[in-house]
Amino acid sequence: MDGKIALEEHFAVPETLGDSREHVRGGGWSILERRLLDLQHHRLSEMEQHGIGLAILSLNSPGIQAIPDPARATAVARRANDTLADAIAKRPDRLAGFAALPMQDPEAAEAELTRAVVELGFKGAFVNGFSQVGDAETVAYYDHPAYLPFWARVQELDVPFYLHPRDPLPSREPIYDGHPWFLGSAWAFGVETAMHALRLMGSGLFDRYPRLTIILGHLGEGLPYSVWRLDHRLSVLPRGIPAKRTMTEYLRTRFYLTTSGHFRTPSLIDAMTEMGSERILFSVDYPFEETGDAATWFDEASIPEADRLKIGRLNAAALFKLVT
């Protein structure tokens, strides 16, 4: 399928490049480093070869969220967004951007999102999970009341917020002690992000701001396959949850899922059954995954052609108000 739109496609700036070293071993780092810093040549060639018409780029993880000092987080986010804007200006027909945000300071995050969307033309926000604030062991999740004005601004700007994974802090998740192979994208990323998404749902955020849109990668970080049991048990054992609706209702109406890094047709069909094909978007997770692997799988997946067109291009075009 030609003209696919991909939207979990990463880049790095010098200040955040080292965050990605843990995802490769040995000589693989030189390749990953080159791909993260390349915003034009090899990236565009890969897109052309595999039928991707547009990529919406985002900063690598944990990126800004791992900078405890709010002032420095704000400065690095601004530099990263300016770097991305310069790259987009060279190929606006093939590249677009998500804003990196200093969520350590809700007011600064709101201001930078506004600048990125209004002045730079970015398509939304891309935030790598919780933020470390003040020191490495103090974390902030975005269901906290301090973020309500920020969420109001996201709704006002009418842009999506992509909640991307990062590892939990070792001090807060001792269950991984002695089992480092389950950290990162193998397992811990998804569990951490799913819980953060549930916190947003359970807090009543979407009752307060009913037009918010959140995007989750990796076919929903496991949520489509667990949400029925979650709601079933919440209904049997109510615990005073602030949310007015079920988690299933929020997931189906306020969230989109992408195929990033999860190239398995039965899982895709499960997500389509639970969410509807209108709520799923194609993505690669480049350069941590190979564009060819994602594109070949998706183009050949045993799904109706009408759904392939929706997931591959039409849903994203509508969500991001693109002219196709």
Query: Which residues are catalytic, by number?
Result: 285
Query: Using CA atoms, how far apart are residues 207 and 217, in angstroms rounded to an integer?
Result: 23
Number of neighbouring beta carbons within 10 Å of residue 299: 15
Residues forming beta bridges with residue 127, ordered by sequence position: 163
C-alpha dihedral sign at 46, 49, 51, 54: positive
* Cα 314 to Cα 294: distance, rounded to the nearest angstrom: 18
31 is written with which tokens?
Answer: 């390749």
**Which runs of consecutive H residues, i.e. helices, occur in the chain?**
28-37, 41-49, 70-90, 106-114, 148-157, 188-202, 205-208, 227-236, 247-254, 265-275, 291-300, 305-309, 315-319
Written as one letter, the residue type at 314 is: L
Half-sphere exposure of 256 (CA within 13 A, CB side): 27
The single-letter code of the amino acid at 288 is: F
Pair of tokens at residue 73: 């987080």
Sheet holding 255-258, edge to edge: 125-127, 161-163, 214-216, 255-258, 280-281
Which of 290, 124, 276 lies closest to 215, judged by CA? Answer: 124
Spatial distance between the Cα atoms of 1 and 301, rounded to a whole number of angstroms = 11
Sequence letter at residue 170: P
Q: Which helix (H) or strand (E) holds 222?
A: none
